[in-house]
Structure 1
C-alpha cells in the first residue's frame, strides 16, 4: 500500500483513534467522565445526581470494581468518583489522579447524597445522560455512541454544546477496512508511523498482565492456567492475557490501551502476540506488524457489531490475536484469513453478560480458539462454506458474524439485562 494512498493514512488514523489509554473498565470510566464534565459545568458540588443510562451500560457497570475508589462497585460509585475526583481533561484516564483523601470523600458523598440510576431506553446501545443538581441549578451532559462522544452539554436551560447526529462511529470511516487491504497495510507500513501507538500498547498491557499474575485479582484465571501449563506457549499466551483482565476487572489502577472501546479487547489482541513474539525471538519490526494485524483485524470484525452487544467482543479480539500469531509463525495471507474464519466458527456463541471476573476466562477461551484456528489450517483442516454461519470468503463470514452480533442478539441483550437487574 502506497504511503500517499488515502487508505494508508486512514488505517494509521484508525489505530490512533482506537488504541487509546484507559483506566479500568471503559463503561464505568465513561460514567465517571460524564460526571466529571457535568461537575465542571455546574461549578460546585451537587446535592443530588441522576444518571440515566442505556441497558448495556447497566450490564457493563453492575459487577465491576471502579479503579481508584477503594474497591467501590457499580454505577453510583463510578458517578461519584467522577464528581469527587475526576479530571475531565484526561478523558478515559479521568480517575488517574484520585488521592486517598478523595477516595475517602467518595464514600462520604455516597452516604450523604442521592445518586439515582434510571434506565434510558433511547434505542442507542451506548447512552449516558448525566444530570447534577445544586439547589435550583443543574448541569446536564450526554455521551452517546462511544465512550468520550459528548453530544450535549447544558446548564440551567442554556445549551452549551449540541450535536445533531447520534451514531456509533468514530471519525475515520471503518468501512474502509477489509482483510486484503489490512494484510497489504501491515506488510508495507512505515513502522515509524505506528511505533509510538504500539509501544504504548505493549508497555501498558504487558504491565497489567504481569500485575495480574503477581497479585490476587478476581478468580485468578491467569494463575489457574499457568499452574500446570509446563512450557506450553499457547497456554502462557492465554494465561498472560487472562491475568491482565483479572487485574483490570477487579480494581487494578494500571491503565490499559483499548481496542474497539474495550480494555479487555485491547489486552486480548496484544498480550498473546507479545508472548509469541518474545518466545519466537522475532525482530521488533515483525512484532509491530503482527500487532498492527491483530488490532486492525479485531476492529474490522467489531465494526458491524457496534460498541456494545450481547456478543462477546473477546471473540473478535481472540481471532485477531490468532491472526497476529499466524503471521509471527510464518503464515501468509491465506493462513491469516483462515485462522480468523476458523476461530469465529468455534466461539461466536459466547455472550456478553457485562464486565466482571469471568471476562478473563472468556478471553482465554477466545485466544485458544484463535490459536486452534491457525493450527487447524496448517494441518490442512478448516471449516467450510455452509458450516453454520461460515460462508465462502473471510469478508462474507465477518459480515455474517456482524449480523449475528448486532441484529440476531438484540433480544438476547435485552433478556440478559432483565436477568441482571432482577426483572
Structure 2
C-alpha cells in the first residue's frame, strides 16, 4: 500500500540519504560544481547568492577534508576545483590537500564572493561560475540537492519540474507529507521490505561509526567524550546518558569537519544523528533484533520528516532537538510498545519541551543541542511507554497533528529573532 503515488522507497530516497559534511555548505558546493561542469572552460571566479538560512547554517561549520576550515566561502571555492554533481550531498567526498590548496588560491585572489538575500528563506543557492567570457549558473531550491535550473550564457540548459527529477505530481515527498495525517504517514511502515531494512541499518552503522570518531581526542568540542568520561564504565551507565554521549560525539565529529559521511534525515545530517543513534543504542542495549530496530528507525525518520514538512527544511527553531528528537522518541516508544498511539504522546512531550530551542547556525556547539534532543527523546519515550498522556496545554493540541501545526506556527512567527541572529552571526 502507498499513500497517493508515493512508495516507501521514494520516501527513503528523498528524505534519508548519505551526506558528507553539513548540508548547507554542501548545497553551496553542489551548486558551484554543477555550474562549473556546464561552463566547460577553466573557471575564473564564482558568485553565490544564498538564502539567510543557508548563510546562517554554513557560516561557522567545518568543511570535511580541509583540516578545520569553515564556512560557505571555502565550500564555494572547493566547488571550483573538485567534486561531481552526480554525487549529490556527497559532492565534497573527494576533497584532498591539493583541492584545498587550489581552493585557497581562488579565495586569496578574491575570485569567490557570497551574497546573502535576506528576503529569501529556506533552502536556496544560486551559483554563477565565469571564465573565458562565458558563464554558467545553477540554482538549488527546496531541498539541499534539488537542482531546479541550469543556465549557460543566459540560456536554459536544464529546468527541473520537481524534486530530483522524479514524478510525484510535481511535489516532493516532503510537500506531500505536509498534507498527510499521522496515520497516513505511518501506513508506510507496512511497506518495509528486506532491502529497506538493509538500507536503514546501513544508516545506523554509518552514524555510529562517526560517533566513535567523535570520542577521539581533539575532535570537535569533545562534548560526547566529556559526557562519556563522566560515567566511566559504560556498562554501568544510565541509558539516557549513553544515548546523549554517543549522539553528541557524532555531532562533535560532523560539525568539526571530520571526513566521514552520515545518514541524514529530512535534509540534515544532525537530524539524522538525533533520529538514528538514540533508537539504535536503545535497541542494542535491550537485545532487540536488527530487523525490528530498522522498523524503529523508520518510525523515527517518518516522524522527523512529518514535522519538518510543516516547519520547513530550515527554520529559527532547532529541528535537531524538537523534530528529530520527536522522531527518536517515537522510534524508541515503538520499540518498547509497538504502540503508535503512545508514540504520538512521546512526540507531544518532546515538542512541548524543546520547541523553544533556537537554531543559531551549524557549528561546534550543536553537539550540545543534539545531545539534549537525544536524551530528552529517551526520557519522553520512557514516560509515554507507561501510558501517560498530555491533555491539551500550551503548544500541545488535542491531536498530534494539532501539536505539530502549533509548533510550525510558533516557528513561523520568529522573524525578528531570526533577523537578530543573522545580524549577530554576520558580525563574526
TM interval, short-chain normalised: over 0.9
Q: Describe the SS at the equivalent of 2:401.
A: helix
Which residue number corresponds to residue 401 of structure 1?
407
Give the gaps of 5 or more residues in structure 2.
165-169
The 1:121/1:39 distance shift into structure 2, 3 A limit, reads: same
Which residue number corresponds to residue 250 of structure 1?
256
How much is the aligned-residue C-alpha RMSD, in angstroms? Answer: 2.3
Contact 1:345 1:383 in 2 (8 A): no
Match of 1:345 among 352, 357, 366: 352
Deviation for aligned residue 1:42: 1.3
390-399 vs 176-185, which moves further: 176-185
220-229 vs 106-115, which moves further: 106-115
Contact 1:69 1:106 in 2 (8 A): no
TM-score between both structures, scaled by the size of structure 2 = 0.91
Cα distance between partner residues in 2 of 1:284 and 1:331: 15
Cα distance between partner residues in 2 of 1:377 and 1:89: 43
Deviation for aligned residue 1:123: 3.2
Which residue number corresponds to residue 266 of structure 2?
260
Which residue number corresponds to residue 415 of structure 2?
410
Deviation for aligned residue 1:241: 1.0
Cα distance between partner residues in 2 of 1:258 and 1:233: 23
TM-score between both structures, scaled by the size of structure 1 = 0.92
Cα distance between partner residues in 2 of 1:7 and 1:239: 40
Which residue number corresponds to residue 17 of structure 1?
14
Matched, 1:277 2:279: no
Matched, 1:104 2:114: no
Alignment of 1:150-169 (within 5 A): 150-163=147-160
Deviation for aligned residue 1:118: 1.0
Cα distance between partner residues in 2 of 1:252 and 1:26: 14
The 1:395/1:356 distance shift into structure 2, 3 A limit, reads: same
Cα distance between partner residues in 2 of 1:237 and 1:6: 33
Match of 1:217 among 216, 219, 226: 219
Deviation for aligned residue 1:209: 1.0
14-23 vs 131-140, which moves further: 131-140
Contact 1:294 1:321 in 2 (8 A): yes
Alignment of 1:322-401 (within 5 A): 322-330=329-337, 332-379=339-386, 381-385=388-392, 387-401=393-407
Which residue number corresponds to residue 36 of structure 1?
33
Aligned length: 417
Deviation for aligned residue 1:17: 1.4
Deviation for aligned residue 1:66: 0.8
Q: Describe the SS at the equivalent of 1:52.
A: strand
Give the gaps of 5 or more residues in structure 1.
none
Which residue number corresponds to residue 129 of structure 1?
126
